[in-house]
A = this chain, B = another copy of it.
Amino acid sequence: MSMNERPLKSNEWVAQKLHLKLTSGELSPGDKLPSVVDLAAEYGVGRSTIREALSALKAKGLLDIRQGGGTYVKAPPDEPAFAQEAWLDRADSLLQLLDVRKVLETGCAALAAKHRSEADLEALDATLNEMADRLDDEIFGEQADVRLHEQIAGATHNPMLMELMKTLSERLHESMRDTRSLWFYAEHRSASRLLDEHRSIVSAIRGRDEALASSRMGQHLAKVEQVLRDKTGIL
Contact = CB atoms under 8 A, between A and B. Distances in A.
Given A79-B86, A87-B163, A103-B110, 13 more contacts: A7-B93, A16-B89, A19-B89, A48-B51, A52-B52, A55-B59, A60-B60, A77-B82, A90-B159, A90-B160, A96-B159, A100-B164, A103-B104
A228 to B, nearest CB: 14
Nearest to A82: B83
A146 interface: no
Interface centre among A90, A103, A104, A111 (most CB of B within 10 A): A103
B103 A175 contact: no
A53 to B, nearest CB: 8
A131 interface: no
A107 interface: yes
A3 to B, nearest CB: 14
Contacts of A160: 87-88, 90-91, 96-97, 100
Interface residues of A, number: 56
Interface centre among A67, A86, A158 (most CB of B within 10 A): A86
Q: Which 4 A-B pairs have the closest CB atoms?
A: A103-B107, A56-B59, A90-B159, A82-B83
A71 interface: no
